[in-house]
Amino acid sequence: MNILIIIPAYNEGVRIDEVVRRVRGMYPDYDVVVVNDGSRDDTARIAREAGALVISHPFNLGYGVAIQTGYKFALAKGYDCAVQMDGDGQHDPAYIAQLLAPVVAGETDFALGSRFLGTESYEPSLARRVGMAFFRKLVSMLIQTRITDSTSGFQAFNRKVIRYFTTEVFPCDYPDADMLLTLHRAGFRISEVPVKMYPSATGKSMHTGWKPIYYMFKMLLSIFVTLLRKKDLPN
């Protein structure tokens, strides 16, 4: 089975070498693609030297567009499954095998890594915990499945999901809770897997200052639009 690890990166020159080398060392049979989202540093060069395939955007297009570029690459190259993880060292690659297991076994279409299912992960800030608690309750209610970590970017999914994510239904702005709702409405099976996460070593976060309020507003609006839109079923 062909597996692709997708790592979006923006100005991650400090950490991307370690991330790529750890993934390559643990999973030498998997391909790794770093989507360099218009970085102003040497992220692309370092990632390539560490052993990753590199796709570079000419300028910064945002996280959602970056990961969708990875999905389009995975679809075009015929990968059976993909794993998505961050380039800042937050996601522990040791858990990639656990994430992939239910997908490869055909038990689920989309496995979401959760830091709240028994592993010793870092404690998010108060503002972030409040937002996460709100959205996990809202998403769990809307999809009628218990979700504990709706904002997790550590994920694994099969080719059907890869193909679906390359279409216009993918929410490129903040692909978090609304993405889970979109998958559910399309009939995909969603499950959670315990994983370990670390705080970002770069100190960058969308959950500081006024950003949490803006994020919550945008996410609520996106969820509302998703509920109004007709169900987009996969081909």
pLDDT tens profile 189-217: 999 999 999 987 654 543 444 466 666 76
Domain spans, the chain = 3-228
Distances (CA, A) of 104 to 64, 96, 98, 150: 25, 12, 10, 22
With both helix axes pointing from N to C terminus, report the angle between 126-143 and 177-185 in degrees, rounded to the nearest 10. 10
Q: Calculate what percentage of the chain has a pLDDT beyond 70.
A: 83
- CATH 1.10.3720.10 assigned to domain 3-228? The reply is no
Cβ pair 84, 67 in contact under 8 A: yes
Cβ pair 155, 74 in contact under 8 A: no
Instruction: Pick out the chain residues at pLDDT < 70.
Output: 120-129, 131, 201-215, 217, 230-233, 235
pLDDT tens profile 27-37: 999 999 999 99
Backbone CA torsion sign across 146, 178, 8, 167:
positive
